[in-house]
Amino acid sequence: MLSHGLEYLAIPGPSVIPNRVLQAMHQPSPNIYAGHLGDVIKTVKKDLNTIAGSSGDVALYASNGHGVWEAALANIVMPGETVLFLATGQFAFHWAILARSLGIDAKIITFGNRATIDLDKVRDVLTRDSNHKIKAICVPHVDTATSVLNDINALRQTINELNHPALLCVDIIASLGSDRFEMDNWGVDVAVAACQKGLMTPAGLAFLFFGQKGAAARTQLNQVSAYWDWNIRASTDQIYASFFGTPPTQHLFGLRTALDMILYEEGLETVLYRHKVLAQTIWAALDAWRHPKGLRMTLPNSDIRSHAVTSIEAGSQNGARLQNWTTQNVGLTLGCGLGMAGNSDPECRDYFRIGHMGHVNGHMIMGALGAIDAGLKALDIPHAQGALDAAASVIAKATKYPNFVAHGNGHVHR
Ligand SMILES: *Cc1c(COP(=O)(O)O)cnc(C)c1O
């Protein structure tokens, strides 16, 4: 009844795509052997490096995030070698399952669904690995299922303190362009990303960043799939070789426009600040709604919450009920819970997520929160009053005092 109008997909990827990105894609294919497209590829690589804080190489793939997971593994380890995965939610598990299907010995340390990496546990495992069998440590920067933000810099320090030679390989698919990531400064060797989250482009392009240590590891392998090989893709000037086949031209045009918007119109620092304020707006509403039988954020500690996605526990199948209600009644699609509950709730109906990465602004987030507030009332889900007030105050204060920080958050740079 009230759902006709602009639909809003507030799931943690694919994110909202700007009309300008869609329009930029709406072009006939250009020559794929010479001309303008070569410049687009070159500038896209340079700008991706800027957003990732990387001065190394970047290889492009016509794939989703799962594809670049495989690409990363194919360039750093051989079947039979050992990789350590650090799981703070679902995504390291799925990456590890993929690794096992390639014959890689995937070891997993799990930290549950509500906590960041415990560095002492990592230290234990690495200390016991005195023969340095672990070739790489794979970890998500942000786990999109739990919304946990891991401190990659601290992880690097721990690995360094132990003089362990493992490569540090980070999944920044959810975080790139939303949460601050500094590949060089944090000593990350390999990073994987994709275009459909913070980068606001339809799924289908993925990126593999690698520095000198990653490149050196690649040369130790005696066999690498030519399709996944990052060397060919990263070093060539030939358009056709950049994608090991026909390039996804329209996607590249879309991404070019998205990168223009992020880097040359809004500016990366402002983009990161916008994500921080919008995340805090959502957190303020959730704090205010709080009720013993109502909604709560799955992460009480704001220091380990991502600015890209928020995971919420709603109890008694209320996550699924709210999702259905907002989709059917007001045109807002919220993200489903993912892996948060065990066998008692395999479909995670007690949970939902709000995706707030990419092309979102104050009125969209206020609209989403207003829609959730209406849903809580319509479904008789217990909640306290004042959430929209609290949310509006965060936005108002952020515009008045650009340095305002509603919650203590160790990752704030502005
Ligand atoms: C979305 C996501 C993926 C998977 O990407 P696909 O494009 O769906 O294959 C992997 N890791 C993280 C952290 C993600 O957010």
CATH code at 69? 3.40.640.10
Residues 412, 414: Cα–Cα separation, whole Å: 6
- Whether 49 and 196 share a structural domain: yes
**Same structural domain, 241 and 283:** no
Q: Which residue among 217, 250, 283 closes a domain?
A: 250
CA 233, CA 242: separation in Å to the nearest integer?
A: 4
- The finding on whether 319 has its CB within 6 A of some atom of ligand 1 is no
Whether 218 is covered by a domain: the verdict is yes
d(CA 298, CA 43): 39
- Same domain as 369, residue 228: no
CA 382 to ligand 1 centroid distance, Å: 33
94 shares its domain with 238? yes
Whether 254 is in the pocket of ligand 1, judged by its Cβ within 6 Å, is no
Containing domain of residue 352, as a range? Answer: 8-14+267-413
Query: What is the number of domains present in the chain?
Result: 2
Q: Is residue 1 a part of any domain in this protein?
A: no
91 lines ligand 1 (CB under 6 A): yes
Point out the ligand 1 atom lying closest to the alpha carbon of residue 196: 7
Which residue, judged by its Cα, is nearest atom 10 of ligand 1?
Answer: 65
CA of 95 to the centre of ligand 1 (A): 10
Pair 351, 300 in one domain: yes
Please check whether residues 275 and 193 belong to one and the same domain: no
343-350: long-range pairs with CB below 8 Å, 24+? 345/317, 347/320, 348/319, 349/317, 349/318, 349/319, 349/320, 349/321, 350/313, 350/314, 350/315, 350/316, 350/317, 350/318, 350/319, 350/320
Write out the E strands in 62-141: 82-87, 105-110, 134-140
Q: If you ran DSSP here, which 8-state letter would residue 166 be given? A: P
Are residues 333 and 192 both part of a single domain?
Answer: no
**Distance in Å, CA 6 to ligand 1 centroid:** 26
Consecutive H or E run containing 309: strand 309-313
In the listed set 250, 275, 301, which residue is the last one of a domain according to the structure? Answer: 250
Tokens (6 digits) for 242: 């950049």
Residue 257 lies in a domain: no
How many angstroms separate the alpha carbon of residue 291 from the centre of ligand 1?
Answer: 32
Same domain (yes/no): 171, 314 = no
Same domain, 179 and 308: no
| Same domain (yes/no): 197, 277 | no
Given the CA of residue 206, which atom of ligand 1 is nearest to it? 7
Q: Which of 219, 250, 281 is the last residue of a domain?
A: 250
**Ligand 1 centroid from CA 93, angstroms:** 12
CA 308 to ligand 1 center in whole angstroms: 13
Dist CA 174 CA 362 (whole Å) = 20
Ligand 1 nearest atom to the CA of residue 194, by list position: 7
pTM of the predicted structure, to 2 decimals:
0.96
89 lines ligand 1 (CB under 6 A): no
In angstroms, what is the span from residue 192 Cα to ligand 1's centroid?
10
From first to last of its 414 residues, the chain has per-residue pLDDT tens of 799 999 999 999 999 999 999 999 999 999 999 999 999 999 999 999 999 999 999 999 999 999 999 999 999 999 999 999 999 999 999 999 999 999 999 999 999 999 999 999 999 999 999 999 999 999 999 999 999 999 999 999 999 999 999 999 999 999 999 999 999 999 999 999 999 999 999 999 999 999 999 999 999 999 999 999 999 999 998 999 999 999 999 999 999 999 999 999 999 999 999 999 999 999 999 999 999 889 999 999 999 999 999 999 998 899 999 999 999 999 999 999 988 887 778 888 999 999 999 999 999 999 999 999 999 999 999 999 999 999 999 999 999 877 655 443 333 333
Eight-state DSSP code of residue 5: S
In a domain, 19, yes or no: no
83-100 residue pLDDT tens: 999 999 999 999 999 999
Q: Decide: 223 and 229 in contact? Cβ < 8 Å.
A: no
**CA torsion through residues 15, 3, 345, 383, sign:** positive
Does residue 238 sit in the same domain as residue 373?
no
Same domain (yes/no): 61, 207: yes
Total number of residues shown for the chain: 414
In a domain, 283, yes or no: yes
CA nearest to 188, candidates 334, 52, 329, 1: 52
